[in-house]
């Protein structure tokens, strides 16, 4: 039996920002007029490959406060997030109050190693920058899927900002979207 892959998916700017100080970032143009159906198709494909989602507490709480309330989401993201098995790493959270959620209260490294050893499809991680950096340091990330937005923000938290143990990466995939966003897929070399 092969180990499950742990895949980090992040929206990121050209200058490496993943969490903008001043809120969300979007490609240039009127967002209401952008046709994102190509990105949505890719996201749906990626979601179909993952049967678990791993999150840090802060990202989990933000998502829990938004996605369960989305009743008219045609993208399928809300249905996926509400139905998928979720794991949240937290030493303080007791009642997750979101269906299909398990709180992992042990060491992140040990808990994630145990999850990866279980049978099943890939485990996705998004947001959760503190957790992601811990996973990078522990050499637990098998793949990075970076949706690169053609935006420079200068301020904000960066994916590899204070990360240690970042491996040399090899390109797995490159996909361009109509909006100017590019998906870059990498794995440790």
184 within some domain:
yes
Q: How many domains does one find in the chain?
A: 1
Give me the mean pLDDT over the 8-26 stretch.
83
d(CA 52, CA 16) in angstroms, rounded, equals 26
25 within some domain:
no
Give me the mean pLDDT over the 166-187 stretch.
94
pLDDT of residue 120: 87
Name the pLDDT band for 20 (thresholds 50, 70, 90). confident
pLDDT of residue 155: 83
What pTM, to 2 d.p., does this model score?
0.91
Which CATH number belongs to the domain containing residue 65 in this structure? Answer: 3.40.430.10
Name the pLDDT band for 170 (thresholds 50, 70, 90). very high
d(CA 126, CA 8) in angstroms, rounded, equals 6
24 within some domain:
no
64 within some domain:
yes
28 within some domain:
no
Q: Examine the pLDDT at 70 and tell me if it is beyond 80.
A: yes
103 within some domain:
yes
26 within some domain:
no
1 within some domain:
no
Domain that holds residue 137: 6-19+36-188
Per-residue pLDDT tens digits for 122-165 = 999 999 999 999 999 999 999 999 999 998 888 888 888 776 77
């Amino acid at each position: 039996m092969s180990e499950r892959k742990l895949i980090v998916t992040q929206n990121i700017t050209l200058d490496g920002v993943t969490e903008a100080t001043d809120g969300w970032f979007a490609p240039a143009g009127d967002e209401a007029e952008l046709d994102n159906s190509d990105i949505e198709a890719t996201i749906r494909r990626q979601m179909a490959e993952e049967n678990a989602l791993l999150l840090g507490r802060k990202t989990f709480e933000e998502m829990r406060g938004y996605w369960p309330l989305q009743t008219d989401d045609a993208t399928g993201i809300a249905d996926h997030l509400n139905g998928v098995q979720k794991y949240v790493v937290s030493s303080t959270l007791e009642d997750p109050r979101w269906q299909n959620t398990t709180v992992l209260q042990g060491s992140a490294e040990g808990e994630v190693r145990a999850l990866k050893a279980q049978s099943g499809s890939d485990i996705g991680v998004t947001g959760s920058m503190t957790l992601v950096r811990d996973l990078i340091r522990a050499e637990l990330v098998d793949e990075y899927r970076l949706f690169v937005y053609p935006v420079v923000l200068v301020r904000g938290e960066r994916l590899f900002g204070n990360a240690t143990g970042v491996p040399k990466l090899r390109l797995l995939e490159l996909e361009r979207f109509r909006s100017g966003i590019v998906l870059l897929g990498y794995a440790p070399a």
